[in-house]
Amino acid sequence: MGAHWEMTPHLSSDQRLDVLTLLDRREVELGRESLDESRRRTVVHGWPGEHWLRLDNGQLTDYALASRSDVVNIEKAGGTVDHTLLDSVWGESRVVEWWTRDDHGTRCGGEIVRTLHLMKVNLPVPVVPVPDGISIRTFDPERDAEAWLEQNNLAFADHPEQGAWRRADLEIRVREPWFDPSGFLLFEEAGNIVASCWTKVHELSPDRFGEIYVISVHPSHQGRGLGRVAVTQGLHVLRQKGVTRGALFVDASNTNAVSLYERLGFVATRRDHLVRFTREA
């Protein structure tokens, strides 16, 4: 049988290893991640999902992971669009939303409905001191989980991914090998979390860069400059770990955040797009 796409809800042990090998190989080729972290986690842990495998004479040559709600949401390893796969994933849905990387979304047809900037900065950057009345400490998974989730979900109430985290979402990440509580900063006033900055060191990346993984300010404390404080304090922690390059993802529509990061020296180095394909009724 020639090259074709097929779907399985569960990866066998051999399929899982083949997919991870493919993702690792593609990351080396591209010099960046080959699949969104949350989707890669599904493969790593062997979780069920809509796994699409492209086979050529029985050999795995490509992979994609889809999810369905009102629309189909999908990403293919490497971040490009495959129109043969697009024809296969419609099902009962009239809309497919496809995550693309490295500006591939500008060349594949469809409508760009969301853009993420990957922004980077050389370290160190000037550190903004913590204001009087604000204390800073590191996150304790047992003590702080519920309070942090409340603060984070309020800060991201309108965000499609970040605004509805549950305890399980947090615990999954806390159990990841990369998790380091010393890089997860909480800013408190009168015993309440008013801002936080969660950082992550990409130890296996060739340039070992540091990421501002989650940055948030409680809505009732926005406008006080705490975002700038939290970002620079987080970058300072990364620099103390020997990191010389900081990075973060931000929605292009969040102009206030983009402006803040640009003032701190961040430069957009990549643009990823969510492309919507709509099938005629």
| Residue 192 belongs to some domain of the structure | yes
Instruction: Provide the domain count of the chain.
Output: 2
Residue 163: its pLDDT value, please?
A: 66
Position 31 scores a pLDDT of: 86
Asked if residue 276 is part of any domain, the answer here is no
CATH of the domain at 40: 3.40.630
Burial class (CB in 10 A: 0-12, 13-18, 19+), 49: middle
pLDDT per residue rounded down to tens, the chain (281 residues) = 679 999 999 999 999 999 999 999 999 899 889 999 999 999 999 999 999 999 999 999 999 999 998 899 999 999 999 999 999 999 889 999 999 999 888 989 999 999 999 999 999 999 999 999 999 999 999 999 999 999 999 998 877 677 688 999 999 999 999 999 999 999 999 999 999 999 999 998 888 999 999 999 999 999 999 999 999 999 999 999 999 999 999 999 999 999 999 999 999 999 999 999 999 86
Q: Which two tokens stand for residue 187?
A: 């800013």
User: Is 216 within the bounds of a domain?
Assistant: yes
Question: Is residue 57 in some structural domain?
Answer: yes
Answer whether residue 281 is part of any domain.
Answer: no
8 A C-beta contact, residue 105 and residue 273: yes
Residue that finishes a domain, picked among 61, 82, 109 = 109
Residues 229 and 177 placed together within one structural domain of the fold: yes
CATH number for the domain that contains residue 220: 3.40.630.30
Within a domain: residue 78? yes
Q: Are residues 187 and 158 in the same domain?
A: yes
Residues 99 and 23 in one domain: yes
Do 211 and 126 lie in one domain? The reply is yes
pLDDT, residue 1, reads 65
Same domain, 82 and 129: no
- Given 51, 78, 109, which residue is the final one in a domain? 109
Give the CA angle between residues 20, 269, 201 to the nearest 5°.
50
177: its two tokens: 């090998």
Residue 184 class from Cβ within 10 Å (0-12 exposed, 13-18 middle, 19+ buried)?
A: buried
Q: Quick one: 98 and 185 in the same domain?
A: no
What is the distance between the alpha carbons of residues 96 and 111, in angstroms, rounded to a whole number?
11
Domain boundary among 79, 109, 139: 109
Residue 281: predicted pLDDT: 67
Q: For the stretch 52-82, what's the b/e string if a residue is b when 16 or more beta carbons lie within 10 angstroms of its beta carbon?
A: bbbbeeeebebbbbbeeeeebbbbbbbbbbb
The answer to whether residues 127 and 244 belong to one domain is: yes
CA angle 165, 169, 172 (to 5 degrees): 160
Which residue in the block uniquely carries the two structure tokens 């990421």?
A: 211
| Containing structural domain, residue 84 | 4-109
Q: What's the DSSP call for residue 110?
A: S
Distance CA 223, CA 109 (A): 39
Strands 95-100 and 72-76: parallel
pTM: 0.92
Domain shared by 70 and 136, yes or no: no
The answer as to whether 279 is a domain residue is no
Q: Is residue 116 part of a domain?
A: no
